[in-house]
Amino acid sequence: MASLHLVVVVILIWLCLASPPEVASASEEACGTNTSLEGYVADLWMYQRQLRGRVEVLDGCSFQVSALDLLAGSASARWWRAEGPDLDSLALGAPAADEPLNRTFLSESLVFRLLPGVSWPLIPVLAAFDPLTSSLFGFVRLSNASDDSSSSASAPTMFDSCAELSPRLRVRWTLDNDSNSIDIGLEAAIGSEYYMAFGWAAPGETKPSMIGADVAVTGFTEDGLPFAEDYYITKYSECLLRKDGIAEGVCPDTIYKGNDTAAGLVNNTRLVYGHRRDGVSFVRFSRPLVSGDKKYDVPVNATMNMTVIWAIGLLRSPDSLRPYYLPLGHGAPAGTAFGLLYYSFA
């Protein structure tokens, strides 16, 4: 397990840094005549080994997987065809393509060719599967979009962009200016008792600081459930209530409501999805670019460079006095457990 954890950390460094890959060419041999799924696009759903990618059916005999991420499987791992993604169905399935998935893929775009005699009607489910270990890495359902509109929905692990924040933490995002929102995914090779925080510093400051920053704090509860909450930083300390009842420190926005009931404070960070796979925590959340909370939310202009902040560290569990999860001090040098960056998300 230690060696796998080391590999995961290395992959977190390189997946966001990989150069735009060249697309491998499929064989020029004649394709099958069944092109009913030509142009169909769907995201792979991750189960293990950090599998990500977008599958597109090119013609009667080949498919492209773009932005393919995968930690190496054994020499027997293949693209696999089956009636379903359950292990019983996979055990009755067979290889769909000849190329092994026994190496690490780093945001690559590749074209794969179906084996002779295999056509799309024989592939209800296309999976990345290792029959030697009965390990499902991930899968996509293949059907006409008109017959099954849900099958082409985006997987929550897929985003438009990605950047490395530290050797252990990276951020992914998809911007939607039309809906005044941005979806953000935080991903780190950390234990389940750690938080991941990301947000924007107060604009207009001559010297960027975490004081006044609007951040989302994400992590997992003691029951293993993901969470994402809207926090505001007033002091470099844990969230505390002073004797006068005023909250200060790194506190949820909802706690400050006691300070100013006219502020209309809400949690403007919405949890979308979260999981832990291969020793990696992943949480996806959505937030408005500009919210109605003028006091504790920073308006985000995605087309401009703004100062963003991030941190990872241990969580304090809720108790009777503070019934919410609280980030503890990160206690490590800048760049390893926290940092500030000047960045545009356009």
Sketch the domain layout of the chain as residue ranges. 22-152, 161-343
- Choice between 10 and 216, residue whose per-residue pLDDT is larger: 216
Give the torsion through C-alpha atoms of 61, 67, 87, 152, to 10 deg.
Answer: -70
- Find, among 106, 30, 87, the residue nearest to 61 by Cα: 30
Helix boundaries (H) for the chain: 2-14, 87-91, 253-256
Q: What average pLDDT does this structure show over 12-37?
A: 55
- Find, among 35, 32, 40, 34, the residue nearest to 147 by Cα: 40
**Left if phi > 0, otherwise alpha if psi is -120 to 50, otherwise beta: which for 67?**
left
**Residue reference for tokens 């949480």:** 283
Is residue 119 scored above 80 in pLDDT? Answer: yes
* Spatial separation of the C-alpha atoms in residues 308 and 305, rounded to whole Å: 9
**Left if phi > 0, otherwise alpha if psi is -120 to 50, otherwise beta: which for 49?**
left
Q: Which two tokens stand for residue 260?
A: 């100013």
Is residue 145 scored above 50 in pLDDT? Answer: no
Q: What is the model's pLDDT at position 61?
A: 93
Q: Which two tokens stand for residue 332?
A: 């490590």
CA 284 from centre of chain: 6
* Spatial separation of the C-alpha atoms in residues 19 and 309, rounded to whole Å: 25
Per-residue pLDDT tens over the stretch 74-109: 999 999 999 999 999 999 999 999 999 999 999 999
Per-residue pLDDT tens over the stretch 242-280: 888 888 999 999 888 764 544 445 689 999 999 999 999
In order of 231, 253, 255, 321, the CA distances from 241 in angstroms are 15, 13, 9, 10
**Left if phi > 0, otherwise alpha if psi is -120 to 50, otherwise beta: which for 253?**
alpha
Per-residue pLDDT tens over the stretch 168-199: 999 999 999 999 999 999 999 999 999 999 99
Q: Residue 6 — very low, low, confident or very high, per pLDDT cuts 50/70/90? A: very low
Mean per-residue pLDDT over the chain, rounded: 86
Topology of domain 161-343, per CATH?
A: Immunoglobulin-like (2.60.40)
